[in-house]
Amino acid sequence: MSADATFDVVVVGAGLVGASVAAALADTTLSIAVVERAPPPPASAEWDTRIYAISPASVRFLESFGVWQALDRARIQPVRRMDVSGDAGSRIAFSAYDAGVAALAHIVESGAMQRALWARVAGQANVAMLCPARCASLERDGKRWRLGLEDGRSIVANLVVGADGRDSWVRGHAGIGAKLEPYGDSGVVANFATERAHEGTAFQWFRADGILAYLPLPGNRISIVWSTPEAHARELTALDPAALAARVAAAGGEQLGRLEPLTPAAAFPLALMDVEHLALGGLALVGDAAHAVHPLAGQGVNLGFGDARVLAALVREREIFRTPGDPTVMRRYERARREDILAMRFVTHGLQRLFSLPGRVPAAVRNLGMNFTDDVGVLKNLLIRQALG
């Protein structure tokens, strides 16, 4: 690449969402540069602790450019049923059969998906993968952006896509404000072998000490996310693996019998984040750079894939004009995504708040609500449709 290389689009960050923007544009005539500081983790026989519940809408998006088909089926678990319990005996269950779909979601490892996305763009003549590379400067140059890299290279592009995660460098350097509200909770993740078969059921418990989810992996394995106050998360991650397995099994009411540790536990701080603009003068934010929601609905990456799908579709409409950062595209992207992001914030933040209120009255209200919803087919179907995306 010369000292000043010109592209139609530059994507900063090739995590799942940024890589999916590049993959969704790989069959166009647009020239695309992807800037990423580190490659995906190598394949391993061990199971990733970063796993995602991929919604049917995200599956269709990944299928549209061949990435879903390239994933190893033996490492994907369809979710056939969801079983959610309140903190005072209430329960709500959803099944793929009731919803008339083959699976409510698919549990997929993060690393496997990222490697498949990278493989889709590798060797594409119109995509330049710049990795490892770090950004150094960003400035507006007429109708284009000039992105300087730490190694002295410089990229000029009509559209910059900020896909560089929650602490987005692009967002900061474009002067787009973000409001981050930490929940004071962390998500503790770890994988376990189970004594009993999960039969494709995802379990979730709204407990006094947080929200615990068992997500099914192929075979007798699960991955857990326990969103819990930071002090409790520290206590859990400090336990030896066998003691943690016993705590997780007890917290889940021994639903799948005894648990055996498969991976060490890790914890991630949780926050709600909203940005001032999703797009601004030839620059668009996608994925965690654009929003952060509570992981209780497992929708973070699905929201990000939604951003990538909408942005790529709008950019494709402008392909012949070679102006992907056109103000009309930016305005339509902002309008199209605001509503979905707001809806997901409303659901996840509302549930998190409702279940963190102390006292018997809030407990009675939320548990009554869950039992009521379980009995009312129409309402339950609406909730299922929201989850299917």
What residues line the site for ligand FAD (CB under 6 A)? Answer: 12-18, 35-38, 52-53, 134-135, 163-165, 169, 187, 189, 225, 268, 287-288, 295, 298-302, 304
Distance CA 78, CA 238 (A): 32
Choice between 55 and 194, CB closer to ligand FAD: 55
What's the first-to-final CA gap in the chain, in angstroms?
A: 40
CB of 224 to ligand FAD, least distance (A): 10
Choice between 52 and 94, CB closer to ligand FAD: 52
Choice between 108 and 245, CB closer to ligand FAD: 108
Q: What DSSP assignment string belongs to 202-259?
A: EEEEEETTEEEEEEEETTTEEEEEEEEEHHHHHHHHHS-HHHHHHHHHHHTTTTT--E
CB of 33 to ligand FAD, least distance (A): 11
Choice between 116 and 363, CB closer to ligand FAD: 116
Cα 274 from chain centroid? 15
Choice between 12 and 24, CB closer to ligand FAD: 12
Choice between 285 and 363, CB closer to ligand FAD: 285
The tokens 């009255």 sit on which residue? 361
Angle value at C-alpha 303, between 301 and 304, nearest 5 degrees: 60
Choice between 8 and 307, CB closer to ligand FAD: 307
Take residue 273 and report the two structure tokens written for it. 């984040």
CB of 81 to ligand FAD, least distance (A): 17
CB of 359 to ligand FAD, least distance (A): 27
CB of 82 to ligand FAD, least distance (A): 13
Q: Residue 354 is inside which H or E element, if any?
A: helix 327-356
Choice between 39 and 327, CB closer to ligand FAD: 39
* DSSP letter, residue 49: S
CB of 348 to ligand FAD, least distance (A): 11
Choice between 56 and 295, CB closer to ligand FAD: 295
Work out whether strand 221-229 and strand 210-217 pair parallel, antiparallel, or are unpaired: antiparallel
CB of 364 to ligand FAD, least distance (A): 29
Angle value at C-alpha 278, between 346 and 143, nearest 5 degrees: 170
Distance CA 67, CA 70 (A): 5
Whether 137 and 261 have beta carbons less than 8 Å apart is answered as: no
CB of 13 to ligand FAD, least distance (A): 3
The tokens 């992001």 sit on which residue? 341
Choice between 92 and 270, CB closer to ligand FAD: 270
How far CA 291 is from CA of 175, 287, 303, 383, in Å, comes to 16, 7, 9, 22
CB of 236 to ligand FAD, least distance (A): 13
Other residues' Cβ atoms within 10 Å of the Cβ of residue 259: 27
Distance CA 170, CA 12 (A): 8
* 188 φ/ψ sector (left φ>0, alpha ψ -120 to 50, else beta): beta
Distance CA 372, CA 380 (A): 9
Take residue 224 and report the two structure tokens written for it. 């857990």
CB of 150 to ligand FAD, least distance (A): 9
